[in-house]
Amino acid sequence: MSGGACVFFDGRRLSTAPPGRELTLDGRCLAGEPVRGAYAHVCALADPDAALRFDEPEVQGARRDAMAWWVPLLGDSLVCISTFALDPSRFAGAVTVARDPSAFRDDPFARLFPGTVVETDLFSEVAPPAGPVVERYAGVPWPGGRFGASADTQSE
């Protein structure tokens, strides 16, 4: 899946290699300098059958809530946020990474899959999504991706 990166989740630990369920997230979350001593709120299950479609209203609703209040609530604590994709249409949950885990009980993605708090040094800081776009780009897990550079230029 172009623009994505993989992590593995066994129900308790996140890593960049097996064992665990393979989940694709916004590649920017693993691309920069890692933030040491952060906390990931993993709203996903290790069960390989635990999935919803990205287009389900409850999944769209969680993305809207992330834009509206979840990211602002985290403020400077936020490191990065990404949904998990299994393929271009199926959603396996989301991860929010923050320097302080105290707000994780309010995570809107925990309405979809139960949250697990994991201490982690894997993730790098990514500017939060700008909104209001909640759709995905060419199957890249939200909020990653964008249309090609050629689309930036006026063609007429």
Partner 1 sequence: MDLSPGSSFPDLDLPDHTGRPRTLSELAAGDPVALVTLRGWWCPKEQRYMRELVRLQDEFEVAYARIVVVSVDAPEVQSAFRAGLGARFTFLSDAERRWLPRLGLAETTDTTHEPYLPAGFTLFPDLTIHAAYNGYWYLGRATMEELRRDMRDISRSVREDWAL
Contact footprint for partner 1 (CB under 8 A): 64, 67-69, 71-72, 75-76, 127-128, 130-135, 137, 146-156
Residue with smaller CB distance to partner 1, 17 or 130: 130
Three-state DSSP state, 111: helix
Residue 95 and residue 41: Cα distance in Å, rounded?
5
Residue with smaller CB distance to partner 1, 118 or 140: 140
Residue with smaller CB distance to partner 1, 19 or 72: 72
User: What is the token pair recorded at 22?
Assistant: 């393979």
Pair 30, 5: CB distance under 8 Å: yes
Residue 144 and residue 81: Cα distance in Å, rounded?
10
Residue with smaller CB distance to partner 1, 102 or 153: 153
Distance of closest approach, residue 72 Cβ to partner 1, in angstroms = 5
Distance of closest approach, residue 55 Cβ to partner 1, in angstroms = 10
Q: Quick one: which H or E segment has residue 57?
A: helix 57-65
User: What is the token pair recorded at 124?
Assistant: 């790098």
Distance of closest approach, residue 108 Cβ to partner 1, in angstroms = 12
Please, which residues bridge with residue 154 across strands? none
Distance of closest approach, residue 56 Cβ to partner 1, in angstroms = 14
